[in-house]
Structure 1
């Protein structure tokens, strides 16, 4: 965990007085993504699984559709004050180059994106429309997945400062779990893993995220052909609209035996519970 976590001095205030001690923090560093030597974007991320992150990011942007579209992904030389490589610049060579200058990278909801434009953009760009049937998940199985995700958050245990995303089979088996300072990066990392394992389109998988479900996370799931997204916290209104538009099953406030099903309830087998609507979850931690 040498580059994933860092130690910093802190003064802890307790009922018994002050304690000066080191604290373990999650590392946050920039990653510059280049295409053919030209800068495409810079994202702040926790180092680790960078190759997967870049594959997932390019999938979400509609730049690539499979691992075969990538010829190579290599770190470029970049050094710190001690002359050590920072591994913070990654150059991707595509089999079919795309223009970078002036390229429009899809803006997220945090930047005031127009809702109608966003929905139409994702619907027309995805290479993997979500099938109406196929995946069927027992509601009891879905309820266990956040806890399964939590058991695999080793860096969160050390720092308390990371988001997580995981890909699960319909019977609850964890295939990949990644952590990152940014929730979108954590999703990119698991989607990049799936792409490099030839699991895209992921029509048979469930994506679980540790925080809220923003439009951006739904968009990434749709671009990967994932039919179900479960979030521990709340979705946004645009996220629900995007899920409904794309035929994705979106579940929020997924906490223990309670959850809110916002779209795509037909993919959840509910024989063990009543068929009446699930009671709305109370607003809690909207991390």
Structure 2
């Protein structure tokens, strides 16, 4: 976007590359360095693989397209958390597979990459489920104002399909066991954004078939939740949100027009507007920290 508020013309990042590209997520490391996580399906292959590309001049040129190591699936709609004090990038990851008796099993953890030494420092986790029916997938990470880290998950379990939450009070060394939130986990990605003074915003669909994109807000980092605020009653998936320094929320998601053509919708709204007329009606248990590593 230009200083006058106009959008610049889009251009292809990989114009000469072959294959199918999808799931782009941008991460700002410094004023000049930007990372791009994405998935690529090579010609003749049936599955896509996760990659990361780097730009050292604010996105003008992209270099070093790297396939992520085995087991790291990259990001979904939320960028990794960047700890500029420790020079670390926290990359939430997950895997899902079927057991011999066709039971769905999921595992989530956090990979740590040091962007100063350009090396992997290991992983933190796994994040443990509170029951066999919790299959955490597509984790979204966010730093809370209390200096805690929080992970929100979709749940791939058919029997107990609720959005889940896990919290770390020690920079990801250990994580609390998963707690179910009051809302169903439908087959679409979620987005989470930390606000000012303990506020927290979760964007997810509140109906199947990609409908009713909704904002679930909290005044106290997810201990209690307000009444949900409907964003879009129609087809509305893949939300992504950014809060700027002027306390303004920038929100994008995929929608469909009357002819069924997919479009990207964008809107901007003041943070406090999402909290208007939202009486606290859902009370959750306090999240207890696990000592398991």
TM range (shorter): under 0.3
Instruction: Tell me the TM-score normalised to structure 1 length.
Output: 0.24
Task: Please identify which structure carries the higher helix content.
Answer: 1
Instruction: Tell me the TM-score normalised to structure 2 length.
Output: 0.23
Task: Please identify which structure carries the higher strand content.
Answer: 2
